[in-house]
Amino acid sequence: MSSASVSARYAANEAVRMMAEQEISKGGAPEMTDHVLRTESLSVFYGAAQALQDISLSIPGNRITALIGPSGCGKSTLLRCFNRMNDLIPGLRVEGKIWLHEQDLMAPAVDVVAVRRRVGMVFQKPNPFPKSIYDNIAWGARINGYLGDMDELVERCLRRAALWDEVKDKLSKSGEQLSGGQQQRLCIARTLAVEPEIILMDEPCSALDPISTAAVEDLMEDLKSEYTIVIVTHNMQQARRVSDMTACLMLDSTPGQGRRVGVVVEFSPTHRLFTNPTDPRTEAYITGRIG
Ligand SMILES: Nc1ncnc2c1ncn2[C@@H]1O[C@H](COP(=O)(O)OP(=O)(O)OP(=O)(O)O)[C@@H](O)[C@H]1O
Ligand SMILES: [Mg+2]
């Protein structure tokens, strides 16, 4: 890609950022910091099969960014790029750049463990460790060298994840004995315990009932004063409720390629994307005509 088209892309991203600041600066909301995570002409391949093509996105700080799009368009693949989780998949190859602030995340010298500490992840299926509720929080913190008051950390993270009142009398019980919604909040508390800067969530509510979903959504809103959140969701109402920015991905046919690859067709402030999408494919997806 020519440097002219890259800078045009970034001019476009800059315009989106300015619109976003105007449209999403809600009263009392923390100031938005730009470029916490950024991809530049990112393409991802599983062996010979390309999953994502030419993704250039700039994720704003202290905001919630939603990734939406039909199954198989590469949302999870993109999310996993942000904390090098894709490294665990044999045969996966990445082209282009991924920046965490000014750090080139794909550079050979990058300390991947440190990256995953800064960029935590919550998965679709709650996956507490087969340990006590207390140790689900304490274990990761201990491994990461936490030397402070562990009881205080456990309580603080469980309170932050809106779970403390439900579990304070059974901290020694197994995390696996909690309900699905409680387990997901435990996994969020566990993620908070290593003090990340960014939290990636891959369909965190898809296994939860509406009450637990509401609890996790409230929690996300509460967390964004301190964290940057990127969430993948198939639930359009959820994307509208929780996110400030939305990227709509789609499978696109590329000339000369047998199979379709994931591209970002629109990246806009959420309100705008859902009320006045600029790309007809976004409109078709959010109104249920694609996907
Ligand atoms: N480990 C893997 N090995 C090979 N191909 C993979 C792997 N994971 C994903 N893919 C392929 O990459 C493409 C994108 O998959 P991905 O899981 O990122 O999509 P998605 O948008 O998250 O879908 P869903 O909404 O169903 O979760 C798909 O074609 C998928 O088959
Ligand atoms: Mg997925």
Sheet with 92-100, strands from edge to edge, namely: 103-104, 92-100, 33-46, 49-61, 261-269, 245-252, 64-68, 228-232, 198-202, 119-122
pLDDT of residue 1: 40
Is 216 in contact with 205 (CB distance < 8 Å)?
Answer: yes
Task: For 57-107, give the secondary structure using H, E and C.
Answer: EEEEECCEEEEECCCCCCHHHHHHHCCCHHHHCCCEEEEEEEEECCEECCC
Distance 73 CA to ligand 1 centre (A): 7
Mean pLDDT confidence for 58-66: 96
Q: Residue 238 in 3-state DSSP?
A: helix
For residue 57, pLDDT over 80 is answered with yes
Predicted local distance difference test score (pLDDT) of residue 255: 63
Does the Cβ of 73 fall within 6 Å of ligand 1?
A: yes
Q: Which residues of 143-177 are buried (b: 16+ CB within 10 A; e: fewer)?
A: eeeeeeebeebbbbbbebbbbbebbeeebeeebbe
Nearest 10 degrees: Cα torsion 241, 119, 38, 203: -40
Say how far residue 165 (Cα) sits from the centre of its chain. Answer: 27
- pLDDT for 257: 61
57-73: average pLDDT: 96
The C-alpha atoms of residue 43 and residue 262 are separated, in whole angstroms, by 9
Mean pLDDT of the chain: 88
| pLDDT for res 254 | 66
Percent of the chain with pLDDT over 70: 86
Q: pLDDT digit string (tens) for 177-222?
A: 999 999 999 999 999 999 999 999 999 999 888 988 998 999 999 9
H or E element that contains 285: helix 280-286
State the DSSP string of 180-210. Answer: HHHHHHHHHHHHHHT--SEEEEESTTTTS-H
Ligand 1 atom at shortest distance from the alpha carbon of 78? 18
Give first-to-last CA distance, the chain, whole Å.
Answer: 30
Please state which of the ranges 114-123, 164-173, 252-261 shows the lowest mean pLDDT: 252-261
Protein residue with its CA nearest to atom 1 in ligand 1:
89
Q: What average pLDDT does this structure show over 152-173?
A: 96
Residue 91 has pLDDT above 50, yes or no: yes
pLDDT band at 126 (very low <50, low <70, confident <90, very high): very high
3-state SS of 151-180? HHHHHHHHHHCCCHHHHCCCCCCEHHHCCH
Angle in degrees, CA 218, 223, 228, rounded to 5: 125
The closest-lying atom of ligand 1 relative to the alpha carbon of residue 44 is: 12
The C-alpha atoms of residue 156 and residue 185 are separated, in whole angstroms, by 13
* pTM summary value: 0.88
3 state DSSP class of 264: strand
Q: Residue 30's pLDDT is what? A: 45
Nearest to 260 by CA among 284, 290, 233, 230: 290
**What's the CA gap between 93 and 49, in Å, rounded?**
10
Q: Ligand 1 pocket check: which of 43, 45, 67, 77 to mutate, most ligand atoms within 8 Å of Cβ?
A: 77
Rounded distance between C-alpha atoms, residue 271 and residue 276, angstroms: 8
Measured CA to CA, the distance from residue 81 to residue 85 in angstroms comes to 6
Tokens of 199: 């939290």
Contact at 8 Å (CB) between 79 and 67?
yes
Q: How many whole angstroms separate alpha carbon 124 and alpha carbon 121? A: 10
* Ligand 1 pocket residue status of 46, Cβ below 6 Å: yes
Kind of pairing between the strands at 92-100 and 103-104: antiparallel
